[in-house]
A and B are shown apart, each in its own frame.
Chain A
Amino acid sequence: DSENGVPASFKVPAGVVHKIFSYKSSVIFCCSQERKIRREMADEVPSLAESKLTALVVDDNFVNQTMHHKLLDRLGIQNDVVCNGQEAVDVHCSGRNYDLILMDMEMPILNGIQATKRLREMGIESKIAGVTTRANEGDKKEFMEAGLNDFQEKPLTISKLLSILHRLDFYVQT
């Protein structure tokens, strides 16, 4: 399988975390051609650079906070942790921004659905992945409609997190 003449399967060089911006259509990089392609694209997409992904964990449960923080850490993703939807909104009001937000659904003060709606109203375009143990279709639909980019059932594992990242077009060292 290949796309644009480049093999569809690839490995990110060890120790490098990429954020790949879409350019015209999705471009998948082959390891050995990567530097050449990135040099070419850098002229047209100057912001394309090796950069560390950032994430925000939004969860009211201490055990989940610790797990999700560590999972992200393990994949080289710098991350902050907040305890509920209101804190997630507040941290954005203070000027912080993240590539990815892992948003729990059931939280006190401001739940995940309300927080997601609020963030989108504020113009926050970060990718938001809803994570919850409550996974009946109605709840999932309501959560997605609030403005999620992806949804995953808890408990999170390394492979579930990787599939979120893959679906949201983030590429990380594994």
Chain B
Amino acid sequence: MELVQMQKSLQDYTKSLFLDGVLDSQFLQLQQLQDESNPDFVSQVVTLFFQDSDRILNDLSLSLDQQVVDFKKVDPHVHQLKGSSSSIGAQRVKNACVVFRSFCEQQNVEGCHRCLQQVKQEYYLVKNRLETLFKLEQQIVASGGMIPAMELGF
């Protein structure tokens, strides 16, 4: 595939993530912090988010599988995940965490189980999409091209 075509595909793909609400403007903040002194900043932070989230989701699954659910343990995990997803612009994960927290407050075990599934779904979706995004970027760089700047006209 030609370089120009690859760059166009990347732009279209990135745009679709915003239009689908998978990412919000906070992701653009992340991109703005990337520069020559830190050319992999975005992927570093996103990788950190993936590692953090995998751990949190695992802990959440364990906590909710207990005979007696300790919401004092569940809520801080959800808060953490809400915080980090919000920081990188993973909007749908963040929104799912907001709902999750309200069920924690109500100490609704069934509701929390449903929310955990929802959060996992949104998380795997954004993870998958961002991994694809980074692959597209790598292909462009490998072909000697530059990553096009994100246009905000949508």
Contact = CB atoms under 8 A, between A and B. Distances in A.
A155 B26 contact: yes
Interface string B21-42: 0000010011011000010010
Interface string B49-69: 100100000000000000000
A71 B87 contact: no
B117 interface: no
Interface stretch (B77-85, B104-112, B139-147): B77-85
A64 B83 contact: yes
Given A64-B84, A70-B38, A157 B49 contact: no
A74 to B, nearest CB: 6
Interface in A44-61: 60-61
Query: What bracket does the count of chain A residues touching chain B fall in?
Result: 10 to 19
A21 to B, nearest CB: 30
Interface residues of B, number: 22
Contacts of A155: 26, 29, 86-87, 89
A66 interface: yes
A64 B48 CA distance: 10
A63 B84 contact: yes
A77 to B, nearest CB: 14
5 contacts: A61-B52, A66-B44, A155-B26, A155-B86, A158-B33
Contacts of B89: 155
A138 to B, nearest CB: 15
B76 interface: yes
Contacts of A67: 30, 33, 45, 87-88
A106 B87 contact: no
Given A70-B41, A106-B79, A157-B26, A63 B33 contact: no
B84 A61 contact: yes
The 7 closest A-B pairs by CB, nearest first: A63-B84, A155-B87, A61-B83, A157-B29, A70-B33, A155-B86, A63-B87
A71 B26 CA distance: 13
Given A66-B45, A108-B76, A74 B33 contact: yes
Contacts of A63: 45, 48-49, 52, 83-84, 87-88
A133 B98 CA distance: 11
Nearest to A157: B29
Contacts of B84: 61-64
Contacts of B26: 155, 157
A141 interface: no
Given A63-B87, A154-B83, 10 more contacts: A61-B83, A62-B48, A62-B52, A63-B83, A63-B88, A64-B87, A70-B33, A106-B76, A133-B83, A158-B32
